[in-house]
A and B are shown apart, each in its own frame.
Chain A
Amino acid sequence: MELLVLFGVLFLLLVLGVPVGYSLFGAALACFLAMGIPPIVAVQRIASGISVFTLMAIPFFIFAGDLMYRAGIAERLVRVADAAVGRVRGGLGIVDVGASMMFGAVSGSAIASASAIGSTMVPLMKDKGYPGDYAVNVTVTAAIVGLLIPPSHNMIIYSAASGIGVSIGDLFLAGVIPGLLTGFMLMFMAWIVARRRALPMGRFPGWREFVRAAAYAVPGLMTAVIIMGGILSGFFTPTESSAVAVVYTLLVGTLVYRSLGWRGTWEAAGKSVRTASMVLFIIAAATAFGFALALLEVPAALGALIGLMTDNPLLTLLIINLMLLALGTFMDMAPLIVITTPIFLPVAMGAGVDPVHFGIIMMLNLGIGLVTPPVGSVLFVGSAVGKIPVTTLVKTIWPFYLTLIAALMLITYIPELSLWLPAAMGGQ
């Protein structure tokens, strides 16, 4: 009965168009009232949901991503990728994926990637005769790869939500190979689609130009080295690394690239504060919602239900993947990580799945939800950047969906893709 209240109210509020964070808060509150629990518990959960040290990485990574965009780092990454692979048919599609992968390695936010790479690549591709829907579809699906390539603030949310202290350093390392794999698969699909639609070809600008472009991008790309090096060597925590990324980007943007002034910094701060407050408010509300779920013993019940359906670990993972994909279409990534990790992680671990591996599965799975309607924030950003309605985009996006799903299956069923690197680097 209380369960019906919890999900009924959530569904009703979401459909009415109440913002996601408020819907979660309202549903938790209604459930507490039905259970005779005082409302202060909901507010107290919100307070505790936001008082988490590791979550400070979220505003930092969002801020760093926006600063990188304003400093022109995204543009320079595009130039390198263009010099390297721009010459093949549909080359700019491949360039787009490559630039997004590099941006993913310096930034921790898929939104930042979609808006930074998108606002550089989409106009460029339209200029060179590429259809806008192709440009946006490649950009938004490639932005998802950045969720896997470290750093990734969603992995930090996962680590906090796991409740068993899954190592953020291990998660970061585990994402590298799946990220590269997914990126290369998307490049391949971008090339196939470009051939079938007979999209234009670029030309090789020569080695001199390539070296020049690379040299310009190096200070930006150093961010990745600093972040990963700092975390892996134990120099600083993931939270600290995100603040260091902000400071480093500020230095590169003002002193080296000289494209970032006070004004740009202040505007970036304002924009980042808006995004970060929205995400963190949702996470706080999701904590209250997750508490209601735990009180109703939903995680245990769902685990038992999946156990009844199958005792085969392969099928268990398939069922979890399907449920997460379905939830991902209408909810955003951050609240889903907070809510579903305590539900599915024990089930997956019961089936013998490593928590680090499961985190990587969740990143890609819920990432796909970011590019699927009706709620897909990265798809929305792409649609806004390219000025193309979502309904037009989804008509030609399916080859890229299929590629992401194929990558998800590979990553789900070949644990070594995720677990080899952390083990080789002496983690675990």
Chain B
Amino acid sequence: MTMANRISRWLVGFGSAGLLAMTAIIAWQVFGRFILSSSPSWTEQASLILMIWYVMFAAAAGVHEGFHIRIALLEERLGDNAAPVLRIVAVVVAVLGIVLLVYGAQLCWLVRNNVVPSLGISRAVAYIPLPVSGLLMTLFALPQIASGRHPVEQHDEAEAV
């Protein structure tokens, strides 16, 4: 339980650092174009790959923290008897996590020889977070399957866009 808390916090912390780094990279791109009048070519690809990384990892943390937006009407109706429904929800998330893990890994393998233009690294680097976050999602869903309760209390206020 505390282990899951720690990993989840670490994932969000990685995301925060990623967001700040991404800000710096794009700011550098604008700065480079207007002040140094040479547009660095690696910035867009690098920040996009960074975003894929932290979005997928934070999305996995979201399974633990329970911040993904959803319709909670049925659960509220059932009140104290909601455990079976919460178990089913967690099973669905866990299964989809396994799909991401297995087929995400296949996808990485398929694109391993594609090179990202301007970075010179394998496209697989961009897609590695898919299988990894899939595994994490499944692991984070397990406690809820076992207990029929949310792993942690709702994180903050309801958040979405």
Contact = CB atoms under 8 A, between A and B. Distances in A.
Interface in A119-177: 153-154
Interface residues of B, number: 61
B58 A240 contact: no
B19 interface: yes
Given A43-B107, A47-B107, A111-B159, A273 B68 contact: no
B6 interface: no
Contacts of A110: 161
B92 interface: yes
Interface string A1-45: 000000000000111111111110110010000000001101110
B99 A375 contact: no
B30 A62 contact: no
Interface in B51-80: 51-52, 54-59, 61-62, 65, 67-75
B161 A332 contact: yes
A40 B109 CA distance: 12
Interface in A276-325: 276-282
B75 A17 contact: yes
Nearest to A119: B157
B62 A274 contact: yes
A274 B55 contact: no
Interface in A348-400: 374-375, 377, 380-381, 383-385
B54 A153 contact: no
Contact of A270 (B13, B127, B158): B13
A292 B121 CA distance: 31
A421 B96 CA distance: 46
Nearest to A39: B103
Interface in B111-161: 126-127, 130, 155-161
B81 interface: no
A108 to B, nearest CB: 10
A270 B12 contact: yes
Nearest to A57: B26
Contact of B55 (A42, A50, A115): A50
A239 interface: yes
A111 B26 contact: no
Nearest to A275: B159
A115 B157 contact: yes
Contact of B71 (A15, A60, A265): A15
B155 A274 contact: yes
A280 B56 CA distance: 9
| Residue picked from A22, A109, A273, A384, most chain B C-beta under 10 Å | A273
A47 B92 CA distance: 20
Contacts of B62: 19, 274, 277-278, 281
Nearest to B13: A270
Given A16-B74, A43-B104, A273 B52 contact: no
A420 interface: no
Contacts of A224: none
B12 A377 contact: no
B75 to A, nearest CB: 5
Interface stretch (A73-81, A187-195, A242-250): A242-250
Contacts of B12: 270, 273-274
Interface string B78-117: 0000000110110011001001100110110000000000
Interface in A206-265: 235-236, 239-240, 243-244, 246-247, 265
Contacts of A180: none
A203 interface: no
A384 B59 contact: no
Contacts of A236: 30
A270 B96 contact: no
A204 interface: no
A417 interface: no
A46 interface: yes
A270 B15 contact: yes
Interface in A87-137: 109-111, 115
B24 to A, nearest CB: 9
A171 to B, nearest CB: 17
B41 interface: no
A60 B21 CA distance: 11
Contact of A377 (B19, B47, B56, B161): B161
A198 to B, nearest CB: 31
**A23, A40, A154: most-surrounded residue (chain B CB, <10 A):** A40
29 contacts: A15-B71, A16-B74, A16-B92, A17-B73, A17-B75, A19-B68, A20-B68, A22-B96, A40-B103, A43-B106, A47-B130, A56-B26, A56-B51, A59-B19, A60-B23, A63-B23, A239-B26, A244-B30, A247-B27, A265-B20, A269-B20, A270-B15, A277-B59, A277-B61, A279-B160, A280-B51, A281-B68, A377-B69, A380-B160
Given A21-B59, A63-B19, A274-B62, 8 more contacts: A19-B69, A19-B93, A39-B99, A56-B48, A275-B160, A279-B160, A383-B158, A385-B157
The 7 closest A-B pairs by CB, nearest first: A377-B160, A19-B68, A277-B58, A384-B157, A273-B15, A243-B26, A269-B16
